[in-house]
Amino acid sequence: MSDTNESNAPDGNAMTDEEREILDAGGTAVERRRQGGFGPGGGVGMPVEKSADFGNALRRLWKLLSTERVRLVGVLLLTFFSVALVVVGPKLLGEATDVIFRGVIGGGGIDYDALHRKLLLVAGLYVVSWGLSYLQAYILAGVVQRSMYTLRDSVEQKLNRLPLRYVDAQPRGDLLSRVTNDIDNLSQSLQQTISQILVSTLTLIGVIVMMLTISPWLTLV
């Protein structure tokens, strides 16, 4: 056998450098799992794994999501307007409270027409904000699922190129877990994390801006 790596390839084609590194590291990784008490019947659970190159993984993930950049911009705009309406709501409720306060303290009675207008405006803002938030979540779910479909397709192509020696060297169920559980976890994490980061960041900025417009000194305090 002139070349073990090439002869083990399913289609007879030469493997890439990355695939050779995976193949060479396969046996070592298996031994580490077995020595650590993990693997089939070796422990109570799988170890918590960390990315060996987080920066490169993040860049590859962004490259995967960049095909949906137009929709991602739409998600950002929808989140911005949704958060803006939620932030403005308390200020309008404060104006409604002022209407009640002036009516009680001034002795002229409460202007119910003005109060009703304020409350209806606030209710309308919250309904629109909810609609924008729902649309944002719907679009983001589509972005993540399409990206994960692309990732699953690339994983399938990679598995078809792996030599049988590498597959045989892996613990039972390890490859299946990576193809199913890991990608599902990535999908859920992306969908929740992107939304939470956007909403939390924009809410913090919006609240600070609104506090400054109401009372700069009180905001500093």
- pTM for this model (two decimals): 0.67
Helix boundaries (H) for 66-182: 69-106, 112-161, 164-169, 174-177
Mean pLDDT of 203-208: 92
pLDDT tens-digit profile of 51-76?
666 778 788 888 888 888 899 999 99
CA dist 105 → 24, 52, 184 (Å): 82, 67, 59
How would you write 177-218 as a 3-class SS string?
Answer: HHHHHHHHHHHHHHHHHHHHHHHHHHHHHHHHHHHHHHCHHH
Look-up of token digits 């659970």? 45
| 45 or 59, which is more confident | 59
